[in-house]
Amino acid sequence: MLSIFAVQLPFSVCAVWFLLTLFKGHKTHSDRLLATIMAFLTVCFYCGSNHMSPYPNYPKLVVMDIVMQFTVLSVFPLICLYIRSLFEESHERSIMYLLFLPSMLQTVCTIVVTSLLGVQACAKVIETIYSGVIVVDRLDVLETAYLNLSYKSFNVIFFVELVASMVFLSSRLFVGKFKFAHISAFLRGEKSSFVANILCSFFIIYFFLWALCIVFMDPFMNTLSIWSSLWSFFVALLLFFVGYVAAIPPLPGGYINIERMRHPFSAMRQSRQEFLQGINSGPVADVPASGYDKIMESFRQVMIVEQGFLNPSMTIDEISKTLNTNRTYVSKLVNIYYGVPFRDYLNNLRLDYAKRLLMDEPDAVIDYVAAKSGFQSSTQFIRKFRETEGVTPTVWRTLQRKK
């Protein structure tokens, strides 16, 4: 019973994150890709779990085998496109959808051979594959073709896509300057660009475990053994954290923010501003209005007149120390006066400054504009700019010149 429960865990986790991401408010392009990934993994795990015991329903077995092959081979390009959407500044080009060509060709050829061979004969071949006893001499031409497509050809495409995906994800980590020293800052919410690196690392670990299981534990994975249970538990845990980091929007305080942990699904359904206003409603302290005005006057002096927002290390704690107050007052006042959280207010100031730089210095490279505007990296700058304007800084500057 425990083994059956463990095998179904990855399926359940992916199904939950798919539904939550699907009905998430204010979905981005990356959110839609994440929902698609979770949907494909849900189907993949459901079909795979049904291969772990004898299956008398032959038509369903054949259909599920074809569907599982298609979803498995499609997950790799989907994850690469998703990670690219987190790092890059533009949507993928149409040519990138050619990455799905191997899975589509594999599926179409398998369907054609299945229709010629018949469901009963295909099911027998599938059973021999999963039993580990294959006598090639006893197979006719169509059965041999089906075997080559559903087993040999699939394995070749699978390992090519697996290796290519791991190389791509590793290169993204290198470009993103992955450092373990950034993890504590990421947990506090001080380095939002590190989210892409964290997700990239999760998927690399997942691919690596997937390869190990197929190469070294394939006989054990096709039965309800202790190894399949352990693998399922670990994969389910890994995918849970993928969804938790990717689907739920970050809040001030980072991924250990207590309100984020207490109300994760509320944070997904509402916009970030609506959620923060909900948890910040009510007075934070008995301070007279004149005290608020004095704090805000000093706040504007530091942030706007002295251009403190250009400091890449500027945080709500830093400005609170400068104003000789605490972060609760500052957070509350920024929400009241500007209608946005402090982090969004800070990014808006930096983006406005970056737009002026883009127009005043038309030959300036993006890295220079990002550093000059106070962003910690060009990747963070491009992502924030695209979220606000809908286009990359380069495209925005080109469009402004044409006006």
All residues at 6 or more sequence positions from 296 whose CB lies less than 8 Å from its CB, including other chains: 333, 337
- CA proximity to 164, closest of 80, 41, 100, 83: 80
Q: Is residue 273 part of a domain?
A: no
Which pLDDT belongs to residue 288? 41
**Count of alpha carbons within 13 angstroms of residue 294, beta-carbon side:** 8
Same domain, 31 and 141: yes
Same domain, 229 and 294: no
- CA proximity to 64, closest of 78, 38, 41, 44: 44
74: tokens are 């499609």
Compute the CA torsion angle 224, 226, 227, 230 (nearest 10 deg): 110
Query: Domain range for residue 373?
Result: 289-402
Q: How far apart are CA 101 and CA 85, in angstroms?
A: 20
Domain containing residue 391: CATH number: 1.10.10.60
Q: Is residue 255 part of a domain?
A: no
Tokens 């295909």 map to which residue?
Answer: 122
214: tokens are 């197929």
Same domain, 315 and 232: no
Low-confidence ranges of the chain (pLDDT < 70): 1-7, 25-27, 50-57, 88-95, 129-140, 175-194, 214-225, 227-228, 249-293, 403
Q: How far apart are CA 309 and CA 314, in angstroms?
A: 7
Same domain, 201 and 148: yes
Q: Is residue 38 part of a domain?
A: yes
If one counts every other C-beta atom within 10 angstroms of the C-beta of residue 162, the result is 18
Which pLDDT belongs to residue 136? 53
Specify whether the CB–CB gap between 224 and 4 falls below 8 A: yes
Work out the angle at residue 114's Cα, subtended by the Cα atoms of residues 112 and 116, and round it to the nearest 5 degrees.
Answer: 75
Which pLDDT belongs to residue 248? 76
What single-letter DSSP state applies at residue 257?
Answer: -
Domain containing residue 81: CATH number: 1.20.1070
Work out the angle at residue 78's Cα, subtended by the Cα atoms of residues 127 and 213, and round it to the nearest 5 degrees.
Answer: 40
Overall domain count for the chain: 2
Using alpha carbons, list the distances in angstroms from residue 29 to 24, 38, 183, 381, 386: 12, 15, 25, 17, 11
Same domain, 353 and 231: no
Same domain, 194 and 311: no
What single-letter DSSP state applies at residue 302?
Answer: I
Same domain, 8 and 139: yes
Q: Is residue 237 part of a domain?
A: yes
Same domain, 71 and 197: yes
Same domain, 104 and 223: yes
Tokens 């957070």 map to which residue?
Answer: 331
Q: Residue count of the chain, please give it.
A: 403
Q: How far apart are CA 64 and CA 265, in angstroms?
A: 32
Q: Specify the 3-state DSSP secondary structure of 57.
A: coil
Same domain, 219 and 122: yes
Which pLDDT belongs to residue 144? 77
What single-letter DSSP state applies at residue 326?
Answer: -
All residues at 6 or more sequence positions from 357 whose CB lies less than 8 Å from its CB, including other chains: 364, 369, 372, 373
- CA proximity to 207, closest of 150, 164, 157: 164
Q: Specify the 3-state DSSP secondary structure of 156.
A: helix
Using alpha carbons, list the distances in angstroms from residue 262 to 26, 192, 202, 256, 258: 21, 20, 24, 10, 6
Q: What is the pTM of this model?
A: 0.62
Same domain, 297 and 197: no
Specify whether the CB–CB gap between 197 and 180 falls below 8 A: no
What b/e sequence results for 21-40 when a residue is b if at least 16 CB atoms lie within 10 Å of its CB, and e otherwise?
beebeeeeebbebbbbbbbb
pLDDT digits (tens, 9 = 90+) for 213-256: 766 655 444 455 676 677 788 888 888 888 888 887 665 555 55
- CA proximity to 112, closest of 122, 120, 100: 122
pLDDT digits (tens, 9 = 90+) for 20-60: 888 776 667 788 888 999 999 999 888 877 654 555 567 77
